[in-house]
Structure 1
Amino acid sequence: MPHEEVLYGIVHKTRKNGRITDVEIRAVYGALEEMQAIIEQSPVSNTINTSFVERKNLDIRQKNRRMTRKTQSFSKSPEMHDAQMEYTIAFGNFCQRHRAHGMSPAMAIGITDHIWSIEELMSFEA
Structure 2
Amino acid sequence: MQFSQFLFAFTAFSGLTSAACFTGGLTWPNWAQWPNGRQPTFDAIEEACRETLAGRYTTQQTRYRCIPGINNQKFDFTLKLISPGSRVISATECISGMTKEMACKHGGRTRYGNWEYTADPNAGRC
Q: Would the TM-score normalized by the shorter structure come out above 0.5?
A: no
Larger Rg: 1
With the length of structure 2 as denominator, give the TM-score of the two structures: 0.25
Question: Quick one: higher RCO (CA 8 Å, sep 6+), 1 or 2?
Answer: 2
- Going by fraction, where is strand more abundant, 1 or 2? 2
